[in-house]
Each structure stands twice: as structure tokens, then as C-alpha cells.
Structure 1
Amino acid sequence: MTDEHTKIRAATPADYRAVLKVMQDAGLDTDGVMVLGTTYWLMEKDGEAVGAIGLEHGDGVSLLRGAAVSPSVRGQGLGRALVMSAVTHAQLRGDKSLYMFSTGGDWESFGFTQIPLAIVMSDIPDAPQVTHYRKSAARPGSTTWMRSLS
């Protein structure tokens, strides 16, 4: 859980290095981080960047990008807080669905269900992760997920 020492705020271009470091420390792919058409949040604990998450936006849908928490603060509910902040943002922007790629994790506890990759590819074709997949033919994660927001 977040507390008075932990804050989630919108990331600015000046936060690029902090977002990149958190994602690298968590072992995530950082290609396309904070590119045009994305929104990122930075989690700080006592002023130190300890988490980051992003959304790649499409027409009425978004794609979750890089839910990352520094190894030193895992197990405190901070990742859940980050994911739920992104879900809330997607709902507020009017998205009908939120997609994501994953190599593991209990995403059902966040309301996600597994779906075929082809659905994401057609619903949000210009998202940086989808574009990267098409160019490299490297699947973005072993599973594809969707959460209905309507």
C-alpha cells in the first residue's frame, strides 16, 4: 500500500532517466519508454524513484506498459498501487478496455483475463509495443491479457 512516504505522480520528460532505471532494475524491456502517445507515472518513496508504469494509448483502449517496482521495495503492495492507478487513468480517459503483455504474474487478481494476441494487434495497432513486435517478430511476453473497463 502507499502511505505518506510514498507518492505516485505523472512522469515528466525530466523523469525519463528515473523511469528507465526503475524498469531496467526490474528486468523489463525499455525500448519505446516514454514515447509520444504514452503516459507514465513514477512512484517515489521518501523522494527516491522506486516504481514506474505506463500506458500506450489507442482509440478507446490502452496497453499497459512496464509495471515495475524496484527489487528493494517489493512485497509492500506498491506494484498493486501502480497498476490500479493506471487502471483508474484508463477508465477516466474513457477507455473501454485495457490490454497488457506479460511473462508471468497473477493478473487475474487485477481483473484481467487471457486473450489471443491477435485481438491486441487489431485493437491497438499503432502502440509502440505492437509496432516493435511487428518489426522484430519477437512476441511481447508469453501471455496477452485484457481488462474490460466498461
Structure 2
Amino acid sequence: MNISIDPVRPESIEEVKSLLAANNLPTADISDDAVLLFEARQSNEQVGTIGLEKYDGAGLIRSLAVKDGLKGLGIGEKLVNHLLDYCASEQVTELYLLTTTTEKYFEKFGFQQISRDMVSEEIRQTREFKDICPCSAVVMHKPL
């Protein structure tokens, strides 16, 4: 499967929002300047997306999603690895994420569940952390 991963083009943002909504992921702030989105494409079709909010040396993973019918083919893994490589090149030293469903998936990449009081202040002040994700969401962390 030949997949390319690149920053989301402005004309693709509505397609990203549709993909996120289809995967029951929030879209409220996905167009904010603080959110950098990447998209996976096969031929000219968007097949997945992942995002990042970066604050100094800390990053918050946003919205990993793969198109229905293509899950389990390694697209999500390629997106996560692409994001990890990007973070390394941008001097991000730690990553966080909030999830209600994918704890086991992200454990494969070295993320570990932590308590909310262990999260850096910059990440705690994000809309994702304060408003968008439910308090019941699991917080995960990975030092890079």
C-alpha cells in the first residue's frame, strides 16, 4: 500500500473534519492555528489523519483517525510514526494524548497512562484538555 503523509492542505480541512466525525472524534477546534494536521493519502484519496499541538518541548497528539474499511492495514501506525519523527525533528521532548478508546493501541508506541496532575501546565491549558475531552478520558504520556 503506497501511502504518502503530508501536512493537510487548506482545501482538505473539511475532508479531515468528516473523517474525524465518522470516527467520533472532536472537530470543534481542529481548524485552530495551534493544531498542525497531517493526512495520509493513497493515490488522491485521504485515508487517515493525525494532529499535533506543540508547546515548547511538549506536544499533544490530536485526532488519529483512519477511514472505515482501511483500519488494521497499518495506516494508523504510519501516521503515528510520522508524527514521532516530526516531533524529534522539532525538539519535542514529551508527548501527551487523551483517549477514551485507544489506550492499548498507544501502549504499543511506548505511551503510558498517567494521572492528570502529572501533565505539564501548557498541555493542561489547551482547549482539548480543559473543554473538549471528557474528564473520564485517559491521559497518556511518552518521553521522547
Please, what TM-score do these two structures have when normalized by structure 1? 0.86
Equivalents in 2 of 1:19, 1:119: separation in Å? 31
State the partner residue of 1:138.
134
Q: Deviations over 1:67-117 (max 9, x none)?
A: 000111111010111111111111111011000011122211011011111
Equivalents in 2 of 1:119, 1:12: separation in Å? 34
Equivalents in 2 of 1:32, 1:56: separation in Å? 11
Equivalents in 1 of 2:116, 2:85: separation in Å? 24
Number of residues of Structure 1 aligned to a counterpart in Structure 2: 142
Aligned-pair identity in percent equals 25
**1:121 deviation in Å?**
5.6
Equivalents in 1 of 2:66, 2:119: separation in Å? 25
State the partner residue of 1:63.
60
Q: What RMSD in Å do the two structures reach over aligned CA positions? A: 1.8
Q: What SS does the corresponding residue of 2:69 show, helix, strand or coil?
A: helix
1:104 aligned to 93, 101, 105, which one? 101
Structure 2, gaps ≥5 residues long: none
State the partner residue of 1:124.
123
Q: What SS does the corresponding residue of 1:20 show, helix, strand or coil?
A: helix
**1:130 deviation in Å?**
2.3
Equivalents in 1 of 2:8, 2:130: separation in Å? 23
Please, what TM-score do these two structures have when normalized by structure 2? 0.89
Q: What SS does the corresponding residue of 1:72 show, helix, strand or coil?
A: coil
**1:40 deviation in Å?**
0.5
State the partner residue of 2:25.
28
Structure 1, gaps ≥5 residues long: none
Q: What SS does the corresponding residue of 1:71 show, helix, strand or coil?
A: coil
After superposition, the Cα gap between the structure-2 partners of 1:61 and 1:121, relative to the gap in structure 1 and judged at 3 Å, is: closer
